[in-house]
Amino acid sequence: MMRIGLVGTGLLGNAVGLHILESGYDLTAFNRTKAKTKQLQERGAKIVDTPKEVAENSDIVFTVVKNADAVRKVSFGDSCISCGKHDGLVVADMSTINPIASKEIAGEFAKKGIMMLDTPVMGGPNVAIKGELVMMVGGDRETFEKHRKIFDVIANKVFYLGENGTAHAVKLAMNLQIAMLSLALSEGITLARGASIEPEVFLQILNSTYFKTGMSETKAYKMIRDSFEPTFTLSNLKKDLDTINQAAHDFGLELPMAKKANQVYQDAVEKGFGDLDYTGILAYIKEIAKSNLA
């Protein structure tokens, strides 16, 4: 059976790792903060001290880290993934990064004789633990097909999109939807409350129309109860909006609403809302809605 490696065991990485173990695979994992690997170790994962050791013990290594700089560090820094190169080693990056950076990183791996695939996903830890993520894949088609089985374990829908960078581009487009939907819901809820209408009524009507979304049917009910336990933090979505706007600039595009959303999320982080779930943007909007009229 294919040996799986995991570099990065935050909320998403940990959930993916637990599902991989539950599916019967051997897993070798590394995280800079070792305490975050405890649950995986208890379920049978081999925990090592460097990304190099992960590579040495794996046929495919998934990276699930903060940004492109972090991907580069675990890939090419001290005691890195590429330092543990062996025949047939493949790297699959599940991080959310600029597609241009992804192409550059894939190129560096290629120089070292290592194939890299983009494998970003949609869905949080609660979905990952059940293997029900949606995965987008970019990179060499033959490498993708050879390792398709593990991708089908991690995700219940897998879309192959083309060359390196394509999957990360679509991932950024998807996360832009998340940011916009959470803002639209938050302002709709706030407007309804301002008119002395119960937000449940607003959601009932919204969810009776063509304009309903998975977010309006599920997370929105937690939002109106001020329940913002993070599955994906507000500060992480702010980081992704930075990447979205940088990618747009790199592609020669102007995305006016992405810029405005980035500023709103930046203000929310500066006001101390960053550790909430991304839907905690409602708490920020609730705070400023009337204060800005004063």
**What pLDDT is stored for residue 291 in this prediction?**
72
Tell me the average confidence (pLDDT) per consecutive run of 10 residues in the chain, 294 residues long. Answer: 96 97 98 95 98 98 96 97 97 97 97 97 95 98 97 98 97 98 98 96 98 96 97 96 97 97 98 97 94 61
The position carrying tokens 């970019």 is 138
| Cβ–Cβ under 8 Å, residues 169 and 159 | no
As a whole number of angstroms, the distance between CA 109 and CA 140 comes to 13
pLDDT in tens, 29-87: 999 999 999 999 999 999 999 999 999 999 999 999 999 999 999 999 999 999 999 99
**What pLDDT is stored for residue 292 in this prediction?**
63
**What pLDDT is stored for residue 181 in this prediction?**
98
Q: Between 99-111 and 68-76, two packed helices, what is the crossing angle to 10 degrees?
A: 10
Whole-angstrom CA distances from 227 to 155, 213, 224 are 27, 19, 7
262 CB-near residues (< 8 Å, 6+ apart): 238, 241, 242, 244, 245
pTM of structure: 0.93
3-state DSSP of 61-118? EEECCCCHHHHHHHHHCCCCCHHHCCCCCEEEECCCCCHHHHHHHHHHHHHCCCEEEE
Q: Between 99-111 and 166-194, two packed helices, what is the crossing angle to 10 degrees?
A: 150
